[in-house]
Amino acid sequence: MTPVAESRIRVRYAETDQMGVVYYANYLVWMEVGRGDLCRACGFEYRDMEREDGILLAVAEANCRYISAARFDDEVTVRTAIGAAHRRAVTFTYQMYAGGRRLAEGYTKHLILNRNFERAQLPQKYWPMFGLG
Amino acid sequence: MTPVAESRIRVRYAETDQMGVVYYANYLVWMEVGRGDLCRACGFEYRDMEREDGILLAVAEANCRYISAARFDDEVTVRTAIGAAHRRAVTFTYQMYAGGRRLAEGYTKHLILNRNFERAQLPQKYWPMFGLG
Amino acid sequence: MTPVAESRIRVRYAETDQMGVVYYANYLVWMEVGRGDLCRACGFEYRDMEREDGILLAVAEANCRYISAARFDDEVTVRTAIGAAHRRAVTFTYQMYAGGRRLAEGYTKHLILNRNFERAQLPQKYWPMFGLG
Amino acid sequence: MTPVAESRIRVRYAETDQMGVVYYANYLVWMEVGRGDLCRACGFEYRDMEREDGILLAVAEANCRYISAARFDDEVTVRTAIGAAHRRAVTFTYQMYAGGRRLAEGYTKHLILNRNFERAQLPQKYWPMFGLG
C-alpha cells in the first residue's frame, strides 16, 4: 500500500500572469506543497528530516504536463504519491485537479544528499515510510 | 540554420531558498526569459505576437534536469534553441551554465492558441522565423 | 463593527531564501491572501468584483514592518481588517503571527479603478460591506 | 557625495498578474536587485559581506508607493541610493522608471545582524562605503 496525500491550495492572485491563468512555474511550487503533505502522511515532517537528520531531497528532474488552465481563486487539489523509492533516490508523482477538471500531472526525481550536498543514503528510520525493506 | 539565443541572468536573492541554492521552479522562469530573447533573435517580440496577433504560446509540457546548483549572484547563461516547430506547436530547448559549469537543461512544449484559448495556427509571417516552409 | 478575517498560511519552501527565513516580498503575497479572505468575510468574492463589476482594487501603497522571522513550515495567521474606506479608495491593515509570536504588520492602500485603469467609484452594493453609508 | 546605482531590469512574464501589469510584491524584488547593484557601486559584493563577514542586512521595514503600472517586457530602471546610514542600521531609497514614466518609489530599512540573527555593528571596513566617519 503506497501512501498518497491530497493537498488543497487556493490559487493566489500572485500566481496568475497576464494570460489570466496560473503561470506555469507555480505548478512546481504546488508539487512541493504536495511533497510536504505526503511526508506528513508518511508520519514525519520534511522540515525535521532536513534539520535533524541533515538529509536533503535535492531535485534532479522535474516534469509537468499542463492539461487545462488553473485560474485565480480556484481550489486546486494536488494528489501526491511515491512513484519509486530507493535508498539514494526517490520519485514523486503528482496529479492536479480543480473541481472535476484535470489541470496537470507530473513527477519530480530527487537525490538524497547530506548537508555538504554529497550523495547519501536515506536514514534507515525512513525506509518503512517509503516502502523500503 | 537554427536560431539560438543566449540570455544572461544574475541570480536574485529572491530566487534562493533555505538550502542556499536557487529554488527549482525558478529555472522555468529563466526558460521564459530565454524564449523571449530567442523571439528577439528571430526578429520579433513575443509581446507583439500576443498583443497584435492574438497568438499565445501556451505551455503544454515543461521538463528540467538539474545538474549542479546555481547560487545567489551567479551569472547564469541560458542558451535557448528551437527543438521542433510545427504550425500548431513549438518546442524550445534550454541549456543553462554558470561559469563553465552546467547547471541544468530542459525543454518546453507549447501549443499555438488564439485569444479564446483555442488551438490555432502560427500566422504565416512567423513561419520563416521558426524555420517553417 | 468592522469586519476582520483570519487567514492560515503554511510557509512554503519556495518562500524561504538563503538566510533561512521567508523572503520579505512574500509577506505582501500573504497580505493579498488576507484581502481575499476579508472580502469573503464581507460576503463577496474579490474575483467576482473584478470579473462581474469590472472593478479593480489597484495597490497605491504597501507597507510592511518586519518584527520576527517566519520560517519554512510555520503556520502563519494573517489578521486583515479595513483601516479606512471611501468610495474611491480603501486601506487594509494586516497583523501576522506564528504561534504567539508577532511576525509583521502593515497596510496597503488601494484605489478603485475600472477596467480601463481609470479612477472609479466602488459600486453601491459594496458600500455596506465596507461600512460606507 | 552619496553613491547611487542604476539597475536595468526587463519585466518578466512571471512578474505579471491577471490585471495585465506587474504584481505589486515584485517591486520589492527589484529593490533587492537595486541594493545589490548599489553595494557593487560602493565597491563590494553583498554576497561577500554575508559570506565572509557574516553580516546580514535584515529588512525591518519596506515601503512602496505605486505611481503607474509596469508591464511585460518594459525596461525598468531602478535608481537606488542610501537614505540614511548608521553603524547598526541602513535605509535605502528607490525610484523606478520605465521610459520617462515614473513607476514607483519606496524605501527599505535594514538592521545589521550577525549570523545568529543578533543586532551587530557594520564592520569598520564598510564605513566609508556607507559614508560613515
| Residues with Cβ within 8 Å of residue D116, at least 6 apart in sequence | none
D16 CB neighbours in chain B (<8 A) are none
User: Does residue C18 belong to the interface with chain A, where contact is any CB pair within 8 Å?
Assistant: no
Q: Tell whether C1 lies on the interface with D, counting CB pairs under 8 A.
A: no
Supply the pLDDT for residue A1: 55
Residue-wise pLDDT for A25-34, tens only, equals: 999 999 999 9
Query: Which tens digits make up the pLDDT trace of A50-81?
Result: 999 999 999 999 999 999 999 999 999 999 99
Q: Quote the pLDDT of residue C130.
A: 86
Q: State residue A8's pLDDT score.
A: 98
Residue C122: which pLDDT band, with cuts at 50, 70 and 90? very high
What Å distances lie between residue A105 and A66, B103, C86, D4, CA to CA? Answer: 7, 25, 45, 47
User: Which pLDDT value is given to residue B91?
Assistant: 97
Work out the minimum CA distance from A111 to partner chain D, whole angstroms: 26
Q: Say if residue A83's pLDDT is above 90.
A: yes
For residue B25, give the 3-state DSSP assignment.
coil
In this prediction, residues A79-88 reach a mean pLDDT of 95
Q: What is the pLDDT of residue B59?
A: 98
Task: Point out the residues of chain D with pLDDT beneath 50.
Answer: none
Residue B1 predicted with pLDDT over 70? no
**D59: which chain C residues are within 8 Å (Cβ-Cβ)?**
24, 66
Summarize pLDDT for C37-79 with one digit per residue, the tens.
999 998 899 999 999 999 999 999 999 999 999 999 999 999 9
Distance CA B19, CA C2 (A): 42
Q: Please state, as a whole number, how many other Cβ atoms lie within 10 Å of the Cβ of residue C73.
A: 18
Distances (CA, A) of C34 to A55, A86, C12, C24, C93: 34, 41, 16, 16, 10
Q: Mean pLDDT for chain A?
A: 95
**Of the candidates B12, B72, B73, which has its C-beta nearest D29's C-beta?**
B12
Which amino acid is residue B108, in one-letter code? T
pLDDT by residue (tens digit) across B26-52? 999 999 999 999 999 988 999 999 999
Q: How many CB atoms lie within 10 A of CB A85?
A: 19
Does the annotation count B48 as an active-site position? no
* ipTM for the assembly: 0.96
* pLDDT tier at C128, thresholds 50, 70, 90: confident
- Chain A partners of C36 at a C-beta cutoff of 8 Å? 10, 13, 73
Measured between beta carbons, which residues in chain B are less than 8 angstroms from residue C70?
none
Q: Do the Cβ atoms of A63 and B62 come within 8 Å?
A: yes
Which residue, C62, C68, C64, is CA-closest to C21? C68
| Residue D1: per-residue pLDDT | 55
Inform me whether the C-beta atom of residue D80 falls under 8 Å from chain A C-beta atoms: no
D66/A contact by beta carbon, under 8 A: no
Q: What are the cell numbers at D122?
A: 557594520
pLDDT digits (tens, 9 = 90+) for C5-44: 999 999 999 999 999 999 999 999 999 999 999 999 988 9
Q: Do D59 and C66 form a contact (C-beta atoms < 8 A)?
A: yes
Tens-place pLDDT, residues B55-87: 999 999 999 999 999 999 999 999 999 999 999
**Nearest residue of D to residue A23 by CA position?**
D14
Decide: pTM greater than 0.95: yes
